[in-house]
Amino acid sequence: MNGDDLRFQRRPDRAALVIALILAGLGGVLLFDAARLADVGGGYSGVGPASAPRVVGIGLVLLAIWTAVEAVLGKFPARPRQDPVPLFWIVGGLAFQLVTLKIAGFSIATGVMFAFTARAFGKRNLAFSIPVGIAASFLVWLVFAQLLMLSLPAGPLEHLFFPGVK
Amino acid sequence: MRNFALGALMLGAMALPAAADYTIMAPANPGGGWDQTARTMQEVMQAEGISPTVQVVNVPGAGGTIGLAQFASQNAGNPDALIVGGYVMVGAILTNASPVTLADVTPIARLTGEYEAIVVPASSPIQTIEDLVAALKADPGAVSWGGGSAGGTDHIAVGLIAKAAGVDPTKINYIAFSGGGEALAAILGAQVTAGVSSLGEFQAQVEAGTLRLLAVSSAERIPGVEAPTLKEAGLDVVLQNWRMVAAAPGLSDEQKAKVSADIEKLVKSKGWQDQLAQKGWADTYLSGPEFDAQLQADIAATAAVLKDIGLVK
Amino acid sequence: MSSFDFLMQGLGAALDPMLLLYALIGVTLGTMVGVLPGIGPALTVALLLPVTYGLDPAGSLIMFAGIYYGGMYGGSTTSILLNTPGESASIVTALEGNKMARRGRGGPALATAAIGSFVAGLIATLLLAFLAPHVVKLALVFGPRDYFALMVLAFVTVSAAFGDSTLRGLTSLFVGLALACIGIDQLTGQARLAWGVPDLLDGIEVTTLAVAMFAVGEALAIAGNHAGTDDEVIAVKGSVWMNRSDWKRSWVPWLRGTFIGFPIGSMPAGGADIASFLSYSTERKLAKSPGKEEFGHGAIEGVAGPEAANNAAAAGTLVPLLTLGLPTTATAAIMLAGFQQFGLQPGPLLFATNPGLVWSLIASLLIANLMLLVLNLPLIGLWVKLLSIPRPWLYAGILMFATLGTIGANPSAFELGLLLVFGIMGYAMRLFGYPIAPVVVGLILGPMAEQQLRRALSISQGDWTTLFQSGVSATLLALSAIALLLPLVLRAIGRGKALSQFGGDED
């Protein structure tokens, strides 16, 4: 939180207005889904499956209004300045792991994610960190999948050492 | 394997373990009936040498339909993949309108089964199943039934009882609890009028005299159980909560025969029989065309009941 | 023989060196797996149960008890050091514990968690041994309406303790409640907010949400804040051990946590997470200086109480299990399967028909509890060193284990996708000053409150006055009303002056 943010305090906070919109949208989604279930009764309780989403939906809409008011009044706390590049590395690493897990197996997919995360925190040499990540992941895979029988997907690397493992 | 795990940890050494053979999917969280079935299979298959290494994978969710869908799509033609399932899955496929059904896998055999039991707390004025039916007929709303999740075996049993007694099944006051434990506590605490669950869940309480067993859902009296069947009480209801094992879709006849032979070896083994006795599961092994026919009959009957209760449109 | 003689006999038998070794192995294995974020005690016990099969009954029982306690304790280590709760009961531990670790007091935080767990485990196990048949009678009095009232109390007290802005705290809570609506409605079997996606039918997994918002969100927030200099983690400042003041501030919360956790754990629909929430808000309300000011910035009371409550609740779940054969949690259900291999059929007659096994189980639990302390106290120095790992490797490792836990618990791309989405959400929420914990609290408590209310109303056939007709629920609802209104009344009377003395949230 640095000093020059103070200058913006009286202005409507655009990001906070976006939050208000998101909250209102979320509330709307709940109310929409509740409307679909409105004809399902709650049996003898009188409270059906639509009631809870409806209450939460209305709550979210009210909170959206409150958020919008605070946003206009500029009451939101100042935000620390963000560096987007590391964020992309981490999100990219996790996405890579997600997509390749089944094909490449646990060690390779997780190893790359490991290296990308390290990259986000300043370890730029991927030629070093990817092998390190894969080796570490393989070790983890050995301990948890082979010793403790946790089911972790295997890929080419795992098959190289343990032919026949699924 | 376990000795290996221990040995390796104690020595701090790491050796190469043998390749895994069967992988059994339990389409539920650890702890439930399917998970216990899968893990018991794992233990016995390893101990009896049917398969050197067996892995259990839990894919929980939606009455097993999530696991079933994943199993069917990822294992086509894989002769080493097995999935545990059961009667609850039949109901869940219908209530969730699941796109993947048991027709998309290769059912191998029914393994175990449990009958449903109707109980009331010992303090209840209701003495017999006839009393309960009379109360239900007088005011269906005043009779609250505690049992497992909506659309599950317990719910279906209550629907069938109401229907057999000539009461509108949509009028039953069924209170779904998460898991048998919570339902049992509500029944013991007399929070609900009556309880429905598999017999094993209640047996210890019945023996201790804290619950009164009114009836069981078997076709004939169960040896050692002092309660009439629903049929004897004039309610035409027979219901078994069974568990089965299925293989992947797209297997050749030889592959299917090999899996069936392995399962038969498992079921006939002493280790399996000991486990069943220990866990109080009845051996209801049924395989081949008989099992396929029984499965079809169960699916048709369940679809009809769920429509009557109003859970499936 | 009296209960005491049985216990002494059991303890005597368990002091065999071979059995102690088994206990140590069990505790080590349990801690290793339990440490993984996303893998709770249930999965830990399920995974490791086969390890105990090869041993004789005494050995296998004691190793099993070790695994159980190890799995329970493992979660708190990652919560404190890495702000990554492994399961729902360690979420509040992360709140204060991680703040302590950031200030270089990770050692005392881990120590108070370990000793608190030990104290709670010891007292609760003894309570289990001597009072179980009586406690269970009380627990059965709780019906759906009483549970609903308990949830209301948990909501009121917990939400009052989170965050410095009412708006943002409430918003977080409602986001959690909204997520809680996703999935099949348990009472009618209707799918809500699932949009035909089968993976959503069972709702959002609490551990996935917690791991994503805490671990992934935290990693993103720190990486994004790269340029900034704040939040520098100091591995150790001062002693790794608890000092005099730490002891003085911990022992009362340990005891309070134990006496909150044990009864709530023994209720069939209670649970360790609710116990830890209630203990946290109690400690926050009762804290005296300097703890009062430190709450929200790393108060040792906020670690000591919930950790004790969480462990006492775990011992509490054994009450319905051993006296009624009622597995009330997934962990208990697996333990039931574990007991069955020893020919032990839990049920109302167990204490009468099989006293030998019951007492050796209780003795095993006591020994395993002690082993856990023996293993973990010396390790604290080592655990704290984790924080001196350079950040790139530390966070890469955290994400590796966070995804490992998620993959191991449910190997699906969808679950990993949720992990990523909620991670980004957790990051955005941190950025805008929204507290994280209420989201998870909403996801845990929301469905329980809704279901219990609807069950209660179904039993009463739609009569809302049923909620006030039971003594238990009327008392709990009255307490909730006081907890909600008292700060407002005080504010009106004392114009804010009195409020600060009660440690309420001022915004």
pLDDT in tens, chain B (313 residues): 344 444 444 333 333 333 347 888 888 766 667 888 888 888 888 877 777 777 787 776 667 777 887 788 777 778 888 888 888 888 888 877 777 788 788 888 888 888 889 999 999 999 999 899 999 989 988 899 988 877 788 888 998 899 888 888 888 898 888 765 678 888 888 889 999 988 877 877 888 888 899 999 888 888 878 888 888 888 888 888 888 888 888 888 888 888 888 888 888 888 888 878 777 777 888 888 888 888 888 888 888 888 887 777 6
Asked if pLDDT for residue A101 goes beyond 50, the answer is yes
Q: For B2-113+241-309, which CATH class?
A: alpha beta
**Reported confidence tier of residue A72, pLDDT bands at 50, 70, 90:** confident
Q: How close, in Å, is residue B158 to chain A by CA atoms?
A: 15
- For residue C411, what pLDDT is reported? 72
Q: Which residues of B touch C343 (CB under 8 A)?
A: 278
**Among partner residues A43, A147, A151, which is closest to B57 by beta-carbon distance?**
A151
Instruction: Specify if C58 maps to a domain.
Output: yes
- For residue A75, what pLDDT is reported? 77
**Reported confidence tier of residue A166, pLDDT bands at 50, 70, 90:** low
- For residue B194, what pLDDT is reported? 93
Contact C219 A90 (CB under 8 A): yes
Segment A58-64 mean pLDDT: 93
Asked if pLDDT for residue C34 goes beyond 80, the answer is no
Q: In a 3-state reduction of DSSP, which class is residue B57?
A: strand
Q: How close, in Å, is residue C8 to chain B by CA atoms?
A: 28
Asked if pLDDT for residue C273 goes beyond 90, the answer is no
- For residue A5, what pLDDT is reported? 46
d(CA A33, CA A28): 9
Asked if pLDDT for residue C502 goes beyond 50, the answer is no
- For residue C496, what pLDDT is reported? 45
Q: How close, in Å, is residue B213 to chain C by CA atoms?
A: 16
Which chains form contacts with chain C, at 3 or more CB pairs under 8 Å? A, B
**DSSP string over C454-470:** HHHHHHTTS-TTHHHHS
Contact A142 B14 (CB under 8 A): yes
d(CA C413, CA A95): 10
- For residue B260, what pLDDT is reported? 85
Q: Over pLDDT 70: what percentage of chain C? A: 80
Domain extent at residue C322: 3-501
Q: Is B142 on the interface with A (CB under 8 A)?
A: no
Which range of C9-18, C248-257, C497-506 scores highest in mean pLDDT? It is C248-257
Segment C75-79 mean pLDDT: 81
**Among partner residues C171, C393, C403, which is closest to A113 by beta-carbon distance?**
C403
Q: Which residues of A touch B (CB under 8 A)?
A: 43-44, 142, 146-149, 151, 161-166
Q: Is B23 on the interface with A (CB under 8 A)?
A: yes
Axis crossing angle, helix A126-141 with helix A84-120, rounded to the nearest 10: 60
Least confident of B8-22, B158-172, C130-144, C461-475: B8-22
- For residue C404, what pLDDT is reported? 83
Contact B58 C409 (CB under 8 A): yes
- Say how many C-beta atoms besides its own lie within 10 A of residue B73's C-beta: 11
Mean pLDDT of chain C: 78
**Reported confidence tier of residue A4, pLDDT bands at 50, 70, 90:** very low
Instruction: Specify if C179 maps to a domain.
Output: yes
Q: How close, in Å, is residue A7 to chain C by CA atoms?
A: 18
What are the φ/ψ torsions at residue C383 (nearest 5 degrees)? -55, -45
Residue C288 tokens read as 């005296």
Segment C432-456 mean pLDDT: 85
Asked if pLDDT for residue C321 goes beyond 80, the answer is no
Contact A140 C188 (CB under 8 A): no
**Among partner residues A142, A148, A165, which is closest to B20 by beta-carbon distance?**
A165
- For residue A82, what pLDDT is reported? 82
Contact A56 C230 (CB under 8 A): no
Instruction: List the single residue in A with minimal CA-CA distance to B9.
Output: A147
Q: Is C416 on the interface with A (CB under 8 A)?
A: yes
C335 Cβ contact list (under 8 Å, min separation 6): C45, C64, C68, C318, C321, C327
**Reported confidence tier of residue A94, pLDDT bands at 50, 70, 90:** very high
Instruction: Specify if C199 maps to a domain.
Output: yes
Q: Is B139 on the interface with C (CB under 8 A)?
A: no
Q: Over pLDDT 90: what percentage of chain C? A: 6
Which of C408, C403, C432 minimizes the C-alpha distance to C420?
C403
Q: Over pLDDT 90: what percentage of chain A? A: 28
Instruction: Specify if C84 maps to a domain.
Output: yes
Check: CB of residue B120 under 8 Å from CB of residue B132: yes
Q: How close, in Å, is residue A65 to chain C by CA atoms?
A: 11
Check: CB of residue C160 under 8 Å from CB of residue C483: yes
- For residue C188, what pLDDT is reported? 76
Asked if pLDDT for residue C224 goes beyond 90, the answer is no
Residue B105 tokens read as 């896998």
**Reported confidence tier of residue C328, pLDDT bands at 50, 70, 90:** low
Amino acid code (one letter) for A111: G
Q: Is C245 on the interface with B (CB under 8 A)?
A: no
- Best probe of the C interface among B3, B175, B281, by most C CBs < 10 A, is B175
Which chains form contacts with chain B, at 3 or more CB pairs under 8 Å? A, C
Asked if pLDDT for residue C132 goes beyond 80, the answer is no
Q: Is A35 on the interface with C (CB under 8 A)?
A: no
Q: Domain tally for chain C?
A: 1
Asked if pLDDT for residue C327 goes beyond 70, the answer is no
Contact B150 C141 (CB under 8 A): no
On the question of a common fold for B2-113+241-309 and B114-216, the answer reads yes
Q: In a 3-state reduction of DSSP, which class is residue B145?
A: strand
Contact B55 A146 (CB under 8 A): no
d(CA C44, CA C62): 16
Domain-wise residue ranges, chain B:
2-113+241-309, 114-216
Q: Which residues of C touch A151 (CB under 8 A)?
A: 408, 411
Segment A151-166 mean pLDDT: 77
- Strands (DSSP E) found in A31-118: none
- For residue B5, what pLDDT is reported? 42
Q: Output the CA torsion C332→B174→B229→C322 (10° steps).
A: 20
Instruction: List the single residue in C with minimal CA-CA distance to A132.
Output: C393
| Residue entry with tokens 């059994």 | B24
d(CA C207, CA C402): 10
Q: Is C348 on the interface with B (CB under 8 A)?
A: yes
Q: Write b or e for each residue in B199-229: b if 16 or more Cβ atoms lie within 10 A of its Cβ, otherwise e.
A: bbbbbbbbebebbbbbbbbbeeeeeebebbb
* CATH dotted code for B114-216: 3.40.190.10
pLDDT in tens, B134-179: 999 899 888 999 888 777 888 889 988 998 888 888 888 988 887 6
Segment C305-327 mean pLDDT: 81
pLDDT in tens, A113-123: 999 999 888 88
Segment C412-430 mean pLDDT: 89
Q: In a 3-state reduction of DSSP, which class is residue B81?
A: strand
d(CA C507, CA C494): 16
Q: Is C318 on the interface with B (CB under 8 A)?
A: no
**Reported confidence tier of residue C235, pLDDT bands at 50, 70, 90:** low
Segment C128-152 mean pLDDT: 80
Helices and strands (DSSP H and E) totals, chain C: 24, 2
Instruction: List the single residue in B with minimal CA-CA distance to A45.
Output: B173
d(CA C471, CA C267): 17
